[in-house]
Chains A and B, each alone.
Chain A
């Protein structure tokens, strides 16, 4: 007994409509195992009948067409009438529905995946299903969705409470729609997000650099880095962490390093003078994140020690009123040890700072000799 195409298709279509209702949340009894077997069997028979009644190709095409029709007639209109956060919620819902639908349909049409698809080297059913969503829904909405995500991130940066779970679900779509590859996430979301991050922090930096002392500014930077790291762990993909933090520290630190360190009222010289150990440690921690970030700090450290040493020598000369007197070795050793403490306590015994110390003390000893 041969099943004709339209005859068999009518059965499949009924199953498809039932599935649609279930997924849409309409009152529809669940599938029974009898329903399942009937659908599976119908597809099975239509694929194993002898030509010209082998309808594998038609079923494969109609599978895809049915999904496309559903998306075009129901999913897209519902998305088009929503915006911002509401769009995000609707998209998450529709994607979840879509995954359920494709999973069920693949089960009914399973026999195609077993023989027809591999034999013709065609994409398997679940891939076809996801491609439909990607080509029709994702294509149209990824830009708007991306902008809505970035908007919420900036809101959270400003201290607003946002729905992190929602953002995580949206980010997951960008990851899943890549179907094993990360290019959708990278190109359609991450790139713009990084750009927006740079803009946000560039703006903050230009305000803070005018208002804040160096230690206050650095404190804020450390807070920002902490918060951005937290953000990634909650709803971004972990691969974004290094790139995101790099943008933040570039805008906040790299571009303003000199201005911060050389600040007359609160820069490195002042922090050393006033023994602000915590702030010096923070300064080291932050600038060590930048490639070549410590060079400048070590250089200023060296200059500070040299200046301190030169003042020491000058005081000795002044005290001896015009007679060239040297400062005792012990005094210079004390100077050395005073700054060695900073090297150990604040600068983690880093080579650059040990070197800076030795060079500075060397130059102090040199001007001290010439005093004889």
Chain B
């Protein structure tokens, strides 16, 4: 590749061990979760506004981060990431989770239809509502999506821990990523399994998301059930050792 040959000529003075860090590589011992990037590479930052903050308003940590970024190579931005205002990492994750057999076009299409459907329903409600109630109705589908997902996220989870031959359901704290994953997973499985066969996915999703937005519906019920189980198993909380 043109870039790597250029790299090699400019790096001729540096020792071989450092040139090895900048090429696409395969690690010597292949772990299960490895990547073609050397761990030396840093994650890219595609948002525009981050680069327009003037020098004076940076904290010392941000200054150090900038210094580090200027000396380290950066990974390439993925296909689904842009600097556009419509690029939402949470929504992208949801699209990926809905995708079957790598067909992102269909998954993205369903999500777009869902957002449009939600907007239509909310605008209809808005026009039918009396003057006083109009301000409370949220019409932005992205805001509804985020709020609905927030309402579905469990605060505490259960883990199966073996003690003395028996398995106990022990309440454990969940990381942010895990909570988001569970909320999305419940939403998708609920829409796929528990709805009428003939309704289309976008219709099912928009119904469920609007219900979660107002804290009703099966997904928030499932979250509450998980919380109740964790509360009832409170006595086993000390079985957790981490």
Instruction: Check if A and B associate.
Output: no
